[in-house]
Structure 1
Amino acid sequence: MRNPLSAAKEQMTEATGAQMFDQFRPQMQALSQVVAERERAQLQLAQRLAEASDADISVDELPDAEERAAQLETMAERASQADLVGWYFGEFVPDHLDNPDRAQAYADLNDDEWQAQKQSWAENYRSTSPEAEAYSDDELAALHVENTFGVPLDEFEANVVDFRPGEAIQDVLTTNLRTVEAVMTAVAEDMEGSA
């Protein structure tokens, strides 16, 4: 049973965070817009640089500045409410796997919990299908994850089981910067190699 005092404390933290965010919403919107516009400009320049070189690299996608600004603002708002897990599984996971609501239950499991979960799935398969006896727990867990969530087991582990809120924020904040860095690195290596 959940401690009522802990639940009340969580609600108070969320409410306080939401109030603070609302107080600074105009500044956050402006900041998000500036960051999104600068990211897009950098990505456009990185694409020009890639096209002007012989490097085998390109910018896969130029994000819409308005959409990116909204994404950054939503992330900041959910962070202020201590709801990064909800934000991550509501905003990002649906684009990458099936049944994100079910997947959220496996977020941030420790190694023992994750091994127990894979064993449980394997036992369920073995209890309904004698052929499953020939497969390891990991093989049956991989089958289950692929059928339920539409992704390979290693991808599910990386994006769900190993989910850490701080790392998720860093990934979202730096994704476009990493793309620019990758282009710059590839072009520099190409230029250095031809010199």
Structure 2
Amino acid sequence: MMDKIKQIREAKHEIENPHESERMRALAAILAEIETAQRAAVIDQREAAGIDPDDGRDRIDKETRTTEILDLVDGYGPGGKPLSEVWVDECCPVDGDPAALSHYAEMNESEWSKQIERWAETIRNSQAGEIDATDRELADHHVSKKWGVSVDRFEQEVVAFEPADALEDLLAGPSKETEQAIEANTEALA
């Protein structure tokens, strides 16, 4: 009985602290090794064939990928980064502080509408005279100044965050990119 309790405590500690767990690190390293080897084979094929499809695909650093996988596991444990923050940090094309951007990714439609209203109100209150613009136009101005994208793109890339899609991006993203690289190689060789 005591052994079982000890095993449960150890498993709980591993889930709560995946970066410190040798077992979790080993599992993450296995996944990272598979992805790294697949990508390396594709890049080696390119070099041997003398092709450069210019698709932005490079080799995957195994240690970096291992850490990314552990970050994902950490997000599911108590006190870990939320999934939205891990996704923003690793996958989101909008540049900015992952913790701040994940706040917007977690918003529902009503909260997002209120956020647009708050930004518009703040801009109107900071200016002398009337501003002839809609709340959305003012929000677009704010978002483009702060993050360099339109409010429409911000909504597509950040606010439309879906946990299931994020998990797929985080877990299968490198494999999908490798598949796309194989297709690019095939096209370049045809």
Q: TM-score, normalised by structure 1?
A: 0.70
Give me the whole-angstrom Cα distance separating, in 1, the residues matched to 2:129 and 2:11. 52
Equivalent position to 2:59, from 53, 57, 62: 62
1:48 aligns to 2:35 (yes or no)? no
Give me the whole-angstrom Cα distance separating, in 1, the residues matched to 2:181 and 2:113. 39
What SS does structure 1 have at the residue aligned with 2:71?
Answer: helix
Per-residue deviation at 1:69? 0.8
The 3 A distance-change label for structure 1 pair 57 and 131 is: farther
Per-residue deviation at 1:43? 1.1
Give me the whole-angstrom Cα distance separating, in 1, the residues matched to 2:130 and 2:58. 42
Give me the whole-angstrom Cα distance separating, in 2, the residues matched to 1:64 and 1:37. 9
Residue equivalent to 2:27: 31
Residues 89-130 of structure 1: CA deviation (Å, up to 9, x unaligned): 784489952344333332222223212221221232223336
Alignment of 1:107-118 (within 5 A): 107-118=105-116
1:19 aligns to 2:13 (yes or no)? yes
Alignment of 1:77-92 (within 5 A): 77-81=74-78, 83-85=81-83, 87-88=85-86, 91-92=89-90
Residue equivalent to 1:4: none
Letter in structure 1 aligned against 2:15: F
Residue equivalent to 2:164: 166
What SS does structure 2 have at the residue aligned with 1:134?
Answer: coil
| Aligned 8 A contact 2:85 2:99 in 1 | no
Give me the whole-angstrom Cα distance separating, in 2, the residues matched to 1:188 and 1:94. 28
Letter in structure 1 aligned against 2:179: E
RMSD after superposition:
3.5
Give me the whole-angstrom Cα distance separating, in 2, the residues matched to 1:22 and 1:133. 50
Per-residue deviation at 1:137? 2.5
Give me the whole-angstrom Cα distance separating, in 2, the residues matched to 1:131 and 1:180. 55
What SS does structure 1 have at the residue aligned with 2:131?
Answer: helix
Give me the whole-angstrom Cα distance separating, in 2, the residues matched to 1:65 and 1:163. 27
Identity %: 25
Of Structure 1 and Structure 2, the greater helix share is in: 1
| Aligned 8 A contact 1:108 1:161 in 2 | yes
1:76 aligns to 2:77 (yes or no)? no
Per-residue deviation at 1:171? 0.6
1:138 aligns to 2:132 (yes or no)? no
Q: TM-score, normalised by structure 2?
A: 0.71
In structure 2, the gaps of 5 or more residues are 1-8
Give me the whole-angstrom Cα distance separating, in 1, the residues matched to 2:142 and 2:105. 16
What SS does structure 1 have at the residue aligned with 2:117?
Answer: helix
Residues 58-82 of structure 1: CA deviation (Å, up to 9, x unaligned): 4533231112112212211322337
In structure 1, the gaps of 5 or more residues are 1-14
Give me the whole-angstrom Cα distance separating, in 2, the residues matched to 1:77 and 1:124. 36
